[in-house]
Amino acid sequence: MSIIGALKWRHSLKHFSPKKVDTTLIHNLIEAARLSASSYGLQPYQLLIVQDPALLQQLSDQAFGQAQVKECSHLFIFANKTNITDTLVEEYFEHHHQQTQTEVGSLNGYAEHIKTAIGAKTEEEKHIWAEQQAYIALGSLLAEAAMLSVDTCPMTGFDKAAFNHTLGLTKKDLSACVICAVGYRDENIQIQNKVRLPLNEFASFI
């Protein structure tokens, strides 16, 4: 299936079947999110995957009772980092040196540039920036899921404070920003045609 065909196939499901997604496919989705683009490559977020039925039920209650949270096979939770400091940049360049075998210190100038750029942001701007990066990773996950014929439903309709408390995120300097229910469609539910803007209203050449 092409990426365009996969995106035409995918829908945000409100109900899932009891069928569980294979562990191998779940790891493919995790990898798609991990390999996603992010500003400076810093990935200022973490990914949590919930599969315990009791916890899914509790989180469903904290997502205003939306059925897809408790019915899904796995719930992917993107949590942005809330303590954005120079440490984030330094840890990135430690990984960079390990994974690319570049000489330690050879990128100090670039690292300082990133620290300055991020340090100029207010705390609110840092929070928004980190959330934006998580959304990019979500897009990669949605595309990979569609390519694998795995259904999804991205969601922002949940009580963030409640999620943070239940999952112990605040003490980890994390905050849930967007979630994605993953599973398989209930074949008894009729899928409506996808509705999108006409191409001439959506895009224009300048």
All structural domains of the chain: 3-84+121-187 (3.40.109.10)
pLDDT of residue 176: 99
pLDDT of residue 134: 99
The span from the CA of 188 to the CA of 186, in Å, is: 5
Rounded to 5 degrees, what are φ and ψ at 196?
A: -140, 160
> Which stretches in the chain have pLDDT values below 50?
none
Query: Is 77 in contact with 177 (CB distance < 8 Å)?
Result: no
Rounded to 5 degrees, what are φ and ψ at 155?
A: -145, 140
Distance of CA 61 to the CA centre of its chain: 21
pLDDT of residue 15: 94
Query: Is 27 in contact with 197 (CB distance < 8 Å)?
Result: no
Predicted TM-score (pTM) of the model is 0.96
pLDDT of residue 76: 99
